[in-house]
Chains A and B, each alone.
Chain A
């Protein structure tokens, strides 16, 4: 190996084997590369070394005492022994001490069978203990959170869990309390935020059974579990996970390593949100409407009815919504079925009022999440990263720790505020103005380096824009300087802005800012499950499969070859368009697959009119959702844990999922349902297996490949004069009352997560977050039950008084469905805190 100053190496000898490693490598890692196992407890290779457990002792020549190999940097000529008699004796001593107060209750411990302490004791332990005195006893099984159980007797004080909270998640969810003999792990006495979103990871990395999952508690032993590698589909990150099943019941979820996506971590919704698969409420028989009620029927009858109504509706009068909960193969089948019938009324966005042009502003990232590792600045525009895509935050935090700049523009102070350089808490709906002011300041500061078109920004009065949006111009000036000093910037537009009064203005403004910054990825972090990739698979009204323009001759040619028929080069209706057409009586057939617009579509009234006007509503779902309750036919579907195929993530990364348990009796995979309907309407979609469907997809969609992120198209970064005019025209006037801001909470996702008792408890009561000044004015205290009145409607919530929000802005749950407008609301106290359990 050549020794260059750029990557200096050192050569050392471990157990007689020479190895050359980069300078800075620890002896532990050098040994690992040689295949020599050194036992560890406290060291975890995603966190810096600590040397707390003393298990990794090795003997180093010319060093007076044994050294901890996980903290010892390898140096030139070092001679290391890992199996010398004094090392063996030292390990036995360490283990004997660790076991002095360990209860050895392995038979009833959930970790038993996969426990590093058990394994290391078996392999390196002394066999017998000299300690005969009574052991220390604590109360067993202390619930630290609805999903976390602590057994203090088993803890060996390795500090992995507390360091995870400090180094990886940054939420400091667990801390060491007291000192010396009295040291123990506990939650901090005062927590500023809600429950940790990553506590499941501490369970995974605990080397003993001290931290165990309350959801998995006593459900199974490790040797009972049948593991199936899969992908989590709750949010859009697409974390690699493994389902463990026993006797057809999903017992737990563990994270799997995928360096490109989740590294080795997963959030708590992924860890604990699996109970819905085993739920008793699952639909297992097709339902058909008879008058006011849904009655059970046979598959044949239901499918025949659906097929008849779809054939009658024909091309332009049929629509389909779905994709988030479908596999990519299923989205592709649905798109092929509809396009073959001559309809492009397909949309993957079931819960969005705005559906901007997919080829410009389609949901998903530009580039990949791993690009954050190289980002100089991370700009979050109305994007509550930790609540919506928690595992992306872990990657972002790594970037911030490395020195990247964090900047948030949102109508609330984000939970991750303390890691951000700037957090501009703007007036709701005014993000675009802040971005425009910032663009101007950046253009000004960059002078000649800014793009020529930036001249269009010169006339703007940044100070006036900032004051309209309610942020300080000085802070913006500082942010502009920092943005220029930290290239490249990575822009993330999220739901707080996209579901606001004018999402298009925010997108145009974000594009303007990135243009004056000299580029940078513009990611639109929106959509759960496979949403972004469902668009690639074809569930999109204004593009062909693969997101090709609808008149792209090459793409149409590929479809003709694969499907054996001509596809019309036309655009269809998006979700708001379909609902509008339905309300006007122009849509006679609507298929909703794995979506719940009746509960999620932000404009409840629009959905109600659409449902009343649509001729026939078919729902494919796992549960009797709000939409399913209103349907004409409900077809029971299978969950992701019961299917094979591929799913996509927010970066349109295609990943394979595996069937972890047999499908529920009576329910069918969405693909099977769609194939049965297709056969009945006369456009048979014949495939031998889901693999065959994917094979065909790769021929129709160039660039689609398993494991890779499909490159999503994005509008070119440029400063547009029309854009500036649109933005200036869009800004909503500030109202007189308090503005209601719909916010997302990670633990309140819907039909699936509410069936996990732990998550339901983590979600807690629905809250209205009120600024202390407002609270004082309205006579509200923290925890009071309050009534929020707006638009002639009322909602009962629980007050949370913090300065997370602005004065005059109340944060309310998204489930109130405010319809994308800025509402003025009033808050009235109903009952003081504590009177309501």
Chain B
């Protein structure tokens, strides 16, 4: 505070009072919050609860019978704004049936370092195969390990990702 002597003592006192009140008001906020419940949590000892529509890591979901929903159509690939997805399709055979139709994804990779979690892939997917889950703890030590392949992305059992395996798109 820089109180200048300008020969007008009354004005200086008035100003000091106004500014003092402002400090008290500000400290009031501080003290009020001092006794409230903190918004931060002690991560990682404490886990945060994410919102219902939070977009986290992807899952490739299954039908109840274990068949993959993904048909390898690559619509997620073309819609992805950060070009994070790679899909290579192959054909189902009598001996090896992976998905319902003629076509399935032989290879499916998502580069988690590139992904911006916009959810466009989920929106574009014609079979509801790819969903963004709620898991956000994706940090790792190498770039390679952050390119998720099918073993990482496939849900371990139908419904594991939280998506109802019986529901259609």
Complex formed: what's the CA distance from A112 to B75 in Å?
A: 10
Complex formed: what's the CA distance from A137 to B127 in Å?
A: 20
Note all chain B residues with C-beta closer than 8 A to A223.
74, 78
A217-B91, A218-B90 known; A108+B103 contact, CB < 8 A? yes
Interface bits A206-225 vs B (CB < 8 Å: 1, else 0) = 00000000000111010110
Chain B, Cβ-Cβ closest to A249: B88
Note all chain A residues with C-beta closer than 8 A to B101.
105, 108
Complex formed: what's the CA distance from A221 to B73 in Å?
A: 8
Q: Does B164 reach chain A (CB closer than 8 Å)?
A: no
Note all chain B residues with C-beta closer than 8 A to A217.
91
Note all chain B residues with C-beta closer than 8 A to A708.
none
Q: Does B89 reach chain A (CB closer than 8 Å)?
A: yes
Q: Does A140 reach chain B (CB closer than 8 Å)?
A: yes
A140-B102, A218-B103 known; A107+B75 contact, CB < 8 A? yes
Pairwise interchain contact B78-A108, C-beta atoms closer than 8 A: no
A107-B126, A218-B91 known; A224+B102 contact, CB < 8 A? no
Complex formed: what's the CA distance from A663 to B78 in Å?
A: 27
A140-B102, A218-B89, A218-B91 known; A108+B71 contact, CB < 8 A? yes
Q: Does B158 reach chain A (CB closer than 8 Å)?
A: no
Q: Does A226 reach chain B (CB closer than 8 Å)?
A: no
Note all chain A residues with C-beta closer than 8 A to B91.
217-218
Q: Does B165 reach chain A (CB closer than 8 Å)?
A: no
Interface bits B57-86 vs A (CB < 8 Å: 1, else 0) = 000000000000001111101100000000
Note all chain A residues with C-beta closer than 8 A to B103.
108, 218
Complex formed: what's the CA distance from A108 to B73 in Å?
A: 5
Q: Does A141 reach chain B (CB closer than 8 Å)?
A: yes
Q: How many A-B residue pairs have CB under 8 A?
A: 31
- Total interface residues on A, CB under 8 Å, equals 12
Note all chain B residues with C-beta closer than 8 A to A112.
73
Note all chain B residues with C-beta closer than 8 A to A221.
73-74, 77-78
Note all chain A residues with C-beta closer than 8 A to B126.
107
* CB of B111 to closest CB in A, whole Å: 15
Note all chain B residues with C-beta closer than 8 A to A107.
71, 73, 75, 126-127
Complex formed: what's the CA distance from A218 to B91 in Å?
A: 7
Complex formed: what's the CA distance from A405 to B90 in Å?
A: 49
Chain A, Cβ-Cβ closest to B89: A218
Give residues 85-139 of B contacting A (CB, 8 Å). Answer: 89-91, 101-103, 126-127
Note all chain B residues with C-beta closer than 8 A to A224.
74, 77
Interface bits A80-107 vs B (CB < 8 Å: 1, else 0) = 0000000000000000000000000101
Chain A, Cβ-Cβ closest to B124: A107
Note all chain B residues with C-beta closer than 8 A to A108.
71-73, 101-103
Main secondary structure of the interface of A (DSSP, over half): loop
Note all chain B residues with C-beta closer than 8 A to A140.
102
* CB of A724 to closest CB in B, whole Å: 62
Complex formed: what's the CA distance from A112 to B78 in Å?
A: 12
Give residues 103-119 of A contacting B (CB, 8 Å). Answer: 105, 107-108, 112
Note all chain A residues with C-beta closer than 8 A to B127.
107
Complex formed: what's the CA distance from A231 to B72 in Å?
A: 32
Complex formed: what's the CA distance from A108 to B72 in Å?
A: 7
* CB of B86 to closest CB in A, whole Å: 9
Chain A, Cβ-Cβ closest to B72: A218
Chain B, Cβ-Cβ closest to A141: B102
Complex formed: what's the CA distance from A218 to B73 in Å?
A: 9
Chain A, Cβ-Cβ closest to B75: A107
Complex formed: what's the CA distance from A107 to B127 in Å?
A: 9
Give residues 214-245 of A contacting B (CB, 8 Å). Answer: 217-219, 221, 223-224
Interface bits A126-141 vs B (CB < 8 Å: 1, else 0) = 0000000000000011
Complex formed: what's the CA distance from A217 to B103 in Å?
A: 9
* CB of A104 to closest CB in B, whole Å: 10
Complex formed: what's the CA distance from A108 to B102 in Å?
A: 8
Note all chain A residues with C-beta closer than 8 A to B89.
218-219
Chain B, Cβ-Cβ closest to A217: B91
Note all chain B residues with C-beta closer than 8 A to A105.
101
Complex formed: what's the CA distance from A108 to B89 in Å?
A: 9
* CB of A630 to closest CB in B, whole Å: 39
Complex formed: what's the CA distance from A193 to B127 in Å?
A: 44
Complex formed: what's the CA distance from A221 to B78 in Å?
A: 10
* CB of B144 to closest CB in A, whole Å: 18
* CB of A236 to closest CB in B, whole Å: 35
Complex formed: what's the CA distance from A167 to B48 in Å?
A: 71
Chain A, Cβ-Cβ closest to B106: A218
* CB of B79 to closest CB in A, whole Å: 11
Complex formed: what's the CA distance from A112 to B77 in Å?
A: 14
Note all chain A residues with C-beta closer than 8 A to B71.
107-108
* CB of A573 to closest CB in B, whole Å: 51
Note all chain A residues with C-beta closer than 8 A to B72.
108, 218
* CB of B136 to closest CB in A, whole Å: 29
Complex formed: what's the CA distance from A107 to B100 in Å?
A: 13
Give residues 42-60 of B contacting A (CB, 8 Å). Answer: none
Complex formed: what's the CA distance from A112 to B127 in Å?
A: 16
* CB of A182 to closest CB in B, whole Å: 24
Complex formed: what's the CA distance from A105 to B102 in Å?
A: 11
Chain A, Cβ-Cβ closest to B90: A218
Complex formed: what's the CA distance from A140 to B91 in Å?
A: 13
Chain B, Cβ-Cβ closest to A223: B78
Chain A, Cβ-Cβ closest to B127: A107
* CB of B125 to closest CB in A, whole Å: 9
Complex formed: what's the CA distance from A547 to B9 in Å?
A: 112
Chain B, Cβ-Cβ closest to A224: B74
Complex formed: what's the CA distance from A308 to B5 in Å?
A: 101
Chain B, Cβ-Cβ closest to A108: B103
Note all chain B residues with C-beta closer than 8 A to A218.
72, 89-91, 102-103
Complex formed: what's the CA distance from A219 to B91 in Å?
A: 9
Give residues 289-304 of A contacting B (CB, 8 Å). Answer: none
Complex formed: what's the CA distance from A140 to B73 in Å?
A: 17
Complex formed: what's the CA distance from A223 to B75 in Å?
A: 10
Give residues 67-81 of A contacting B (CB, 8 Å). Answer: none
Chain B, Cβ-Cβ closest to A105: B101
Note all chain B residues with C-beta closer than 8 A to A219.
89
Complex formed: what's the CA distance from A224 to B71 in Å?
A: 17
Interface bits A566-605 vs B (CB < 8 Å: 1, else 0) = 0000000000000000000000000000000000000000
* CB of B68 to closest CB in A, whole Å: 13
Give residues 150-179 of A contacting B (CB, 8 Å). Answer: none
* CB of B147 to closest CB in A, whole Å: 15
* CB of A178 to closest CB in B, whole Å: 25
Complex formed: what's the CA distance from A140 to B74 in Å?
A: 21
Query: Could you list 22 examples of A-B contacts with CB < 8 Å?
Result: A105-B101, A107-B75, A107-B127, A108-B71, A108-B72, A108-B73, A108-B101, A108-B103, A140-B102, A141-B102, A217-B91, A218-B72, A218-B89, A218-B90, A218-B91, A218-B102, A221-B73, A221-B74, A221-B77, A221-B78, A223-B78, A224-B77
Q: What are the 5 A-B residue pairs with the smallest beta carbon separation, nearest first? A: A107-B73, A218-B89, A108-B103, A107-B126, A221-B74
* 8 further A-B pairs in the complex, CB-CB below 8 A; given A141-B102, A224-B77: A107-B126, A108-B71, A108-B72, A108-B102, A140-B102, A217-B91, A218-B103, A221-B77
List A residues at the B interface (Cβ < 8 Å): 105, 107-108, 112, 140-141, 217-219, 221, 223-224
List B residues at the A interface (Cβ < 8 Å): 71-75, 77-78, 89-91, 101-103, 126-127
